[in-house]
Amino acid sequence: MSSVITYSPAYTLVPTYECFNRCTYCNFRSEPGTSPGLTLTQAQQILKSLQDRGVIEILILSGEVHPQSPQRPAWFERIYQLCELALSMGFLPHTNAGPLLYEEMAQLKQVNVSMGLMLEQMTPKLLETVHRHAPSKVPQLRLQQLEWAGELQIPFTTGLLLGIGENETDWRETLEAIATVHQRWGHIQEVILQPHSPGQQQVWQGEAFNMTLLPQVVAIARSLLPNEITLQIPPNLVTHPDILIECLIAGARDLGGISPHDEVNPDYPHPDAQTLAPILEANGWQLKKRLPVYPQYIPGLPAQLKTLVEDWQLATKSSSVIQ
């Protein structure tokens, strides 16, 4: 059994918090037309401040503009430019901007070392509850995104949001859908198991996911997903060390992007690697940095990304375990 647990030293850039969906558990969105977007000058300043601070991944995480909106091309262009800027400054971009048009995804492949979209849950019953006003959360639409990413051979991160009104059968159905699409294309690098953790901004009064069930979900995921897919749990949401360790014993091997601020769960600050490492070490696990693209996918990256990734590979190999 491998005793290594990985994490990605990351920083999140948000092109816009504005989102045309209204998921009732959301703690991220603002109403369209109410908040200024991130300018390239601002992004450049932020990225400059991150150089030499150990950050490797730039997660570009965005609220969504309706695919038919006249604002969509400008929204997409800004995301693309942010990826280019991050690359030009030596970082590795990973974009998660909701469902994309096929052409948009194909273009972003050229400037992202991996991309992501949470499948969340396949059950359509959530369209009557927490996703009633969230057209982007139609399960088949999201599954199609996973298919397209496979067709385009984009290393991909997806995951389940837990505790939003689904049951164990629904977890299994969602995990099986991910396994099936991966068996077709071989591109899913990791699956996040993200427990719903209520925040101050959300409308929905639902309970937090019962964290004592998380090790069981990890075990189910491990039994249903191919071994090459890494299971990820977010350490800022799994705050009890005993449960964190139980999740590792059940098969979780990654703690995701660790950055100063969790934009999706702003009420839950990330512990840093220096805090996590001793907790893991006391239980026989070793914390290691990883890149936002898993090693088996590096040979298939577009040439202009591969060189930068290989440089990072060398740099992380020769550096200490955590930073």
Question: For residues 116 and 89, what is the distance between their CA atoms, to the nearest angstrom?
Answer: 22
How many angstroms separate the Cα of 301 from the Cα of each of 31, 111, 153? Answer: 36, 10, 9
User: Which of 9, 10, 11, 28: binder of ligand SF4 (CB under 6 A)?
Assistant: 28
Kind of pairing between the strands at 156-162 and 230-232: unpaired
The interface with ligand SF4 within residues 80-119 (CB under 6 A) comprises 98
User: Which of 112, 136, 158, 197: binder of ligand SF4 (CB under 6 A)?
Assistant: 136
Q: Is 83 assigned a ligand-binding role in the annotation? A: no
Question: For residues 99 and 134, what is the distance between their CA atoms, to the nearest angstrom?
Answer: 12
- With a CB cutoff of 8 Å and minimum separation 6, the contacts of 115 are 94, 95, 96, 105, 108, 109, 149, 154, 155, 156, 157
Q: Using the rule CB under 6 A, is 75 a contact of ligand SF4?
A: no
User: Which of 60, 134, 231, 244: binder of ligand SF4 (CB under 6 A)?
Assistant: 134
- Per-residue contact string for residues 157-176; x = within reach of ligand SF4 by CB under 6 A: --------------------
Q: Using the rule CB under 6 A, is 192 a contact of ligand SF4?
A: no
Q: Using CB atoms within 10 A of its CB, is residue 233 exposed (0-12), middle (13-18) or buried (19+)?
A: buried
User: Which of 5, 10, 14, 19: binder of ligand SF4 (CB under 6 A)?
Assistant: 19
Q: Using the rule CB under 6 A, is 21 a contact of ligand SF4?
A: yes
Q: Using the rule CB under 6 A, is 297 a contact of ligand SF4?
A: no
Q: Please choose, from the candidates 163, 154, 217, the residue with its C-alpha nearest in 3D space to the C-alpha of residue 181.
A: 154
Q: At 43, which helix (H) or strand (E)?
A: helix 40-50
Q: Is 247 assigned a ligand-binding role in the annotation? A: no
Nearer to ligand SF4, 132 or 240 (CB): 132
Nearer to ligand SF4, 28 or 91 (CB): 28
Nearer to ligand SF4, 97 or 229 (CB): 97
User: Which of 13, 14, 23, 188: binder of ligand SF4 (CB under 6 A)?
Assistant: 23
Q: State the minimum distance, in angstroms, from the CB of residue 146 to ligand SF4.
A: 16
Task: Kindly indicate which of the ranges 24-32, 103-111, 141-149, 287-295 contains the residues binding ligand SF4, using the contact rule CB under 6 A.
Answer: 24-32
Q: Using the rule CB under 6 A, is 63 a contact of ligand SF4?
A: yes
Asked if 114 and 297 count as a contact pair (C-beta separation under 8 A), the reply is yes
Looking at the chain, which runs of residues are DSSP E strands? 4-13, 57-61, 92-96, 114-116, 156-162, 188-195, 230-232, 254-258, 286-289
Q: Is 26 assigned a ligand-binding role in the annotation? A: yes
Q: Which residues would be at the binding site for ligand SF4 (CB under 6 A)?
A: 19, 21-23, 26, 28-29, 63-64, 98, 134, 136
